[in-house]
Amino acid sequence: MDKIILVTGATSGFGKAIAEKFASQGWNCIITGRRKERLDELAATLTDNYAVKVLALHFDVQKKAEVFAALQGLPAAWQSIDVLVNNAGLAAGRDSFDNASLEHWETMIDTNVKGLLYVSKAVVPYFIAAGKGHIINLGSTAAKEVYTNGNVYCATKSAVDAISKAQRIDLLPHKIKVTAIHPGAAETEFSMVRFKGDTAKANAVYDGYEPLKAEDIADTTWYCASLPPHVCINDLVITCTAQANSYYTYKGA
């Protein structure tokens, strides 16, 4: 039977690589994001390269009405989702608590926390109806240790950690697996978004060591999703070899 993955934030970085990985294994993909052109491009690539079916839905996860309009009442053939990857997210700025902007904080909370909750709430009924399912939430090493000037980004990822634990308990009766994947630094568009297109600042994040790649996270996600029904990876921290935790990366002597 055809398998279906729904991955949010598939226009870039981890989400795009995850869609490509699962499509390469023959899974049909529901891909989401705000940038419609990129979604359409990815849909064409996946269809052409892997002969899978793709449903592209463009919406902003911050907007409750948009999320439910897009995900409730999916066409019947798309309702039997096997895996939901809550990946859409971002950091906005990296400023001290006293200097950080309220707007940045609100964007991160609305996207990383509320967006993940809205999408999960819209998809879980399909899992419950099927009597199975798998939610994979993208947290971060920032969920595990707060770092200097990481304040609200770290708080949103701690929330993802807590929500994952809560989902795991509450959704057990429905045989829904919940996995939280917590990556360290990975070179995607993440830092360009965080620093509003400041290339020098974004590149400096990855200077002096080899960070993770989006494909590393896609492979990890695939591993978690392809285990037998009785096995669930609950919590997985993955960093590049140069990184020990949220605030210690070895960049040479």
Among residues 42, 142, 152, 225, the one that binds ligand 8X3 under rule CB under 6 A: 142
Query: Considering only residues 175-234, where is the footprint of ligand 8X3 by CB under 6 A?
Result: 184-185
What track of x and - describes contact with ligand NDP for positions 77 through 106 (by CB under 6 A)?
Answer: ----------xxxx----------------
Do 179 and 234 contact (CB within 8 A), yes or no?
yes
138, interface contact from ligand NDP, ligand 8X3, none, CB < 5-8 Å by kind: ligand NDP
34 near ligand NDP (CB under 6 A): yes
DSSP-based helix, strand, coil % in the chain, nearest 5: 45, 15, 35
13, interface contact from ligand NDP, ligand 8X3, none, CB < 5-8 Å by kind: ligand NDP
Name the amino acid, one letter, at 189: E
Answer yes or no: 247 catalytic. Answer: no
Indicate the residue whose CB is closest to ligand 8X3: 140
**Adjacent-strand bridge partners of 212:** 186
From 118, 147, 153, 206, active-site residue: 153
196 near ligand NDP (CB under 6 A): no
Using the rule CB under 6 A, give the single segment among 31-39, 56-64, 67-75, 137-145 that binds ligand 8X3: 137-145
Q: Please report which helix (H) or strand (E) contains residue 57, including its range.
A: strand 54-58
Burial class (CB in 10 A: 0-12, 13-18, 19+), 230: exposed
Return contacts of 198-207, CB within 8 angstroms, 24+ apart.
207/251
CA distances from 237 to 7, 12, 140, 208, 231 (A): 20, 21, 8, 22, 18
Do 150 and 112 contact (CB within 8 A), yes or no?
no
Q: Would you name the residues annotated as active-site residues?
A: 153
Q: In the complex, which residues of this chain contact ligand NDP (CB under 6 A)?
A: 8-15, 33-35, 60-62, 87-90, 111, 115, 138, 140, 183, 185-186, 188-190, 193
